[in-house]
Structure 1
Amino acid sequence: MRFVAKALILGLTLTAGAAIAKEGVENPTVKARMDVMGIVGANTKVLGDMAQGKAAFDASAASAAQAALAAAAAEIPAVFEEEADDPVSEARPDIWMNMEGFVEKAEALETAANAMDVSSVEGVQAGMGAIGGSCKSCHSDFRAKK
């Protein structure tokens, strides 16, 4: 029962995160990108909170977050394939000028997520450095500050 409750909470969190991320977005392509990035952010937060002790470690929840993060990371290249803009988008045009570099960074995130050992809090803590580094690297090059 506890797992079901946690899975439900995680699902609601992801849904709420995606809804917030796409508020005011008019372009459906940009909305799809923001949905995927919302899933990345929500699951990174779940894992990060466990790693920092802000949330109790739960191997089942960590495993679910890891799987969702890796799956969303794998979708990033496809949802950014079409160059599209929207006033609320934070995607810089550099993405489409350097798609190869962008895809490499998305793949690095997927690799980091898949490599994380979610069987213990120590494994999650160890894996967060690579995940955070992947996010920061991509955002530094390809995300506009709003």
Structure 2
Amino acid sequence: MGDTFQVIQEKLIRMVEHINELKQLSACTYEEYVNDIKLKYAIERLLQLIVDLALDINNMILAYLKRPPASDYFNSFIDLSEAGVLDVDFAVKIAPASGLRNRLVHQYEKIDDKIVYNSVKMTIEDFSKYVDIISRYIGV
């Protein structure tokens, strides 16, 4: 338990760092976002890193609870709600972030700049709440 929760705590610390970095960049306008390729890539990368950390944490908690691995990234949030770690409404709200992450990483389709830009505020809010919930769960 101690080692698993220690690793989760370290991942939460990194997530908070990335959320804070994203907050700093979130003051940009949509025009600045689409016209500054470095800013755009920085925001996209931070979104990916935040979601990746959550997915790692989700799977670590599921393994700790001796539950089977989630069938996919989306369901890792749903499975945590079924395990009583996340509230079901919150899990359903945050789970679609995995789809945006997949589009950013794998470029399955043209990335809609408006969707990415508009997801920044939600990512900051939802994953800040996620950090609070998981921190309480592991007792930090």
TM normalised by structure 1 equals: 0.49
How far the C-alpha of 1:136 sits from its partner, in A, is 5.2
Q: 1:42 to 1:110 in 2, by over 3 A?
A: farther
The 5-angstrom pairing of residues 65-76 of structure 1 reads: 65-76=46-57
Question: Over aligned residue pairs, what C-alpha RMSD do you find?
Answer: 4.2
CA contact (8 A) 1:109 1:134 kept: no
The answer to whether residue 11 in structure 2 is matched with residue 36 in structure 1 is yes
Q: For the structure 1 residues 69 and 97, does the alpha-carbon distance in structure 2 shift closer, same or farther, using more than 3 Å as the test?
A: closer
How many residues are paired up?
107
Name the structure with the higher helix share. 2
Q: What percent identity do the matched residue pairs reach?
A: 6
Structure number with higher relative contact order (C-alpha < 8 Å, ≥ 6 residues apart): 2
Unaligned runs of 5+ in 2: 29-35, 66-80, 105-110
Contact 1:32–1:79 (CA under 8 A) maintained in structure 2: no
Gaps of 5+ in 1: 1-25, 84-94
Residue 79 (structure 2) pairs with residue 98 (structure 1): no
1:119/1:65 Cα in 2 relative to 1: closer, same or farther (>3 Å)? Answer: same
Change (3 A) 1:118 1:43: farther
